[in-house]
Structure 1
Amino acid sequence: MKPPIGPTTRLCMSLAARPGTFGSRFHNHLYDALGLDFVYKAFTTTDLEGAVRGIRALGIRGCAVSMPFKEDVIPLLDGLRDSAAAIDSVNTIVNDEGTLLGYNTDYSAVRTLVEPLARAPFLLRGSGGMAKATATALVDAGFVEGVIVARNEAKGRSLATALGCGWQAEAEALTAPMLVNVTPLGMTGADAEALAFTRTQVEAAEAVIDVVAKPVETPLLRLARALGKPVVTGAEIAKLQALEQFVLYTGVRPTEAQVAAAESYALAT
Structure 2
Amino acid sequence: MIDKDTRLCMSLAGRPGNFGTRFHNFLYRELGLNYVYKAFTTADLPAAIGGVRALGIRGCAVSMPFKEASIPLVDALAPSAAAIRSVNTIVNDDGRLTAYNTDYIAVAKLIESHGVPSSQRLALRGSGGMAKAVAHALRDAGFATGSILARNAGTGRALAAACGYDWRPELGDLEADLLVNVTPIGMTGGPEAMDMAFPADAVERARIVFDVVALPAETPLIRHARRLGKPVITGAEVIALQAVEQFVLYTGIRPEDALIARAADFARSAA
TM over 0.5: yes
Match of 1:33 in 2: 30
How many positions carry a matched residue from both structures?
266
- The aligned counterpart of 2:182 is 182
Counterparts of 1:99 and 1:133 in 2: how far apart (Å)? 24
Secondary structure at the residue paired with 2:197? coil
Question: Does 1:219 find its partner at 2:220?
Answer: yes
Displacement of 1:117 after TM fit?
Answer: 0.8
Is structure 2 residue 117 aligned with structure 1 residue 118? Answer: yes
CA distance in 2 between partners of 1:222 and 1:187 (Å): 13
- Show the counterpart of 1:239: 240
Counterpart amino acid of 1:192? A
Q: Secondary structure at the match of 2:123?
A: strand
User: For structure 1, which segment, 190-199 or 35-44, has the greater mean C-alpha deviation from structure 2 after superposition?
Assistant: 190-199
Which residue in 1 is equivalent to 2:148? 148
- Counterpart of 1:45, as a letter, is T
Preserved CA contact (<8 Å) 1:185 1:191: yes
Residue 139 of structure 1: aligned partner: 139
Number of the residue aligned with 1:78? 75
Could you tell me which amino acid in structure 2 is paired with residue 232 of structure 1?
A: I
Q: Show CA shifts across 1:102-149 (max 9, x none).
A: 000000100011121122110000001100000000011011211000
Q: Tell me how far apart the structure 1 counterparts of residues 260 and 192 of structure 2 sit (CA, whole Å).
A: 29
Distance 1:254 1:111 in 2: 20
- Kept in 2, the 8 Å contact 1:172–1:198? The answer is no
Residue in structure 2 matching 1:22, options 19, 31, 36: 19
- Please name the residue that 1:54 is paired with: 51
Does residue 1:64 correspond to 2:61, yes or no? yes
Q: TM-score, structure 1 length as denominator?
A: 0.98
Q: What is the CA-CA distance between 1:191 and the residue it aligns to?
A: 2.3
- The two structures have a TM-score, normalised by structure 2, of 0.97
Deviations 1:75-107 (A, max 9, x none): 000010011101101100000000000000000
Letter aligned with residue 156 of structure 1:
G
1:130 paired residue number:
130
Question: Which runs of 5 or more residues in structure 2 are unaligned?
Answer: none
Q: Deviations over 1:178-203 (max 9, x none)?
A: 00000000000132101100000000
Equivalences for residues 5-16 of structure 1 within 5 A: 5-16=2-13
Q: What residue identity is the alignment partner of 2:116?
A: L
RMSD: 0.7
Runs of 4+ in structure 1 off by over 2 angstroms are 172-175
CA deviation vs aligned residue, 1:141-179 (integer Å, no higher than 9, x gap):
011211000111100000001111000111143230000
Matched, 1:107 2:104: yes
Once the two structures are superposed, the pairs formed by residues 256-267 of structure 1 within 5 Å of their partners are 256-267=257-268
| 1:7, distance to aligned residue in structure 2 (A) | 0.8
CA distance in 2, matches of 1:143, 1:22: 30
Partner of 1:161: 161
Q: Which runs of 5+ in 1 are unaligned?
A: none
Amino acid at match of 1:117: V
User: Could you give the per-residue CA deviations for residues 42-73 of structure 1, whole angstroms, max 9, x where no partner exists?
Assistant: 11111100100000011000000001111110
Residues 123 and 147 in structure 1, CA contact (< 8 A), matched pair in contact too: yes
